[in-house]
Structure 1
Amino acid sequence: MATTVEWPVRLYLFEEDGTTKARVVLRTGTTTLTGHGTARCSPEDRDVPEIGDEIAAGRAMRDLAGQLQRVADLDLEGVGAGPPRHDHRAAYGWADAMA
């Protein structure tokens, strides 16, 4: 029997003084997860709010995705199945660019 489940996701964006913050909230019915992301406009760059929104939102969604995967891994462990092995790759670029 096929089922359909809807998980509402809300994305909130806040901008002040060249910094955009994003918060994304996922409600599964049993769990609420919140991801966060930030983007900062360099003083040398032209301030384009849409770009800050996109970067902050993408980072918040990436944070949320990681949390959701960790919850799923813990749930798998709870039913006796180990989580899949994840290869750890070294980050490239500047460390603060990954924030």
Structure 2
Amino acid sequence: MTRTLEWRLRLGLTEDDGTTRAEAVLDTGSAQLTGHGVARCNPQDVDVPAIGDELAASRAMKDVAAQLMKAADADLETVGAGPASGPVAPPYAWTDTTA
């Protein structure tokens, strides 16, 4: 079976007095997930708005990703395709342990 989908992500950023806020809205066509992220500039650091944008946006998208994973886990449990409770090891990437 071949399928093609397009999901749309809208990302809004606002900055006020060294605090950047981001809102990411993922529209799958059948559901919407909204994530939020905030970045604050340390008063002792140079204010570089692009860094605040990157941090807040990445945090908002990480929030959406966590919600999407939670929905996928629930769907998997519904069809009996895996444990949805208890700690689950990451499927890939570096481990959190150090040698």
More helix by share: 1
Question: 1:34 is matched by which residue type in structure 2?
Answer: T
Partner Cα separation in structure 1 for residue 51 and residue 72 of structure 2: 31
Q: Percent same amino acid among aligned pairs?
A: 59
Please report the TM-score for the alignment, with normalisation by the length of structure 1.
0.82
Give the match for residue 38 of structure 1: 38
Question: 2:38 is matched by which residue type in structure 1?
Answer: T
Q: How many residues align?
A: 90
Give the match for residue 57 of structure 1: 57
Q: How big is the shift at 1:87?
A: 3.3
77-86 vs 8-17, greater mean Cα deviation = 77-86
Partner Cα separation in structure 2 for residue 66 and residue 83 of structure 1: 17
Please, what is the CA RMSD of the aligned residues?
2.0
Mapping for residues 1-99 of structure 1, pairs under 5 Å: 1-83=1-83, 86-87=88-89
Deviating beyond 4 angstroms after TM superposition, the runs of 4 or more aligned structure 1 residues are none
Please report the TM-score for the alignment, with normalisation by the length of structure 2.
0.82
Structure 1 residue runs of 5 or longer lacking an equivalent are 91-99
